[in-house]
Amino acid sequence: MNAASARVPKKPAGLWIPVLKVGSIGIYVEGLVVLLVAFLLVGGEAGAPLGPRLGLIGIALGSVLLHELGHAVMARLRGLKVGGVFLHLVPFAYVERGSPRDELRTALAGPVTNLLIAGGLLAVPHVREGFPWLELERWLDDPLWTAFGVNALMGVLNLIPALPADGGRALRAALMLRMAPAKAYALTARAGTFTGAACFFVAVLLWPNTDAYAAIVAGLFFIVVAWREAKQGQIERRRERAKAKEAPNGRTLEA
Q: Please give the average pLDDT of every successive group of 10 residues along the chain, which has 255 residues.
A: 48 81 90 84 63 83 95 94 89 90 96 97 93 87 93 96 94 95 93 96 91 92 92 86 67 35
CB 86 within 8 A of CB 5: no
Burial class (CB in 10 A: 0-12, 13-18, 19+), 136: exposed
Domain assignments of the chain as residue spans, ordered by start = 2-160, 179-255
Looking at residue 5, what is its pLDDT? 40
The Cα–Cα gap between 71 and 54 comes to 26
Looking at residue 218, what is its pLDDT? 93
Looking at residue 242, what is its pLDDT? 82
| DSSP H helical ranges for 123-210 | 125-130, 143-157, 166-176, 181-206
Looking at residue 9, what is its pLDDT? 57
Round the CA-based radius of gyration of the chain to a whole number and report it. Answer: 21
**Pairing of the two strands 92-96 and 25-30:** unpaired
- E-strand stretches of 59-118: 82-87, 92-96
Looking at residue 11, what is its pLDDT? 66
The half-sphere exposure of 234 on its side-chain side, counting CA atoms within 13 A, is: 5
Looking at residue 8, what is its pLDDT? 47
CB 111 within 8 A of CB 159: yes
CB 140 within 8 A of CB 63: no
Cα diameter, the chain = 78
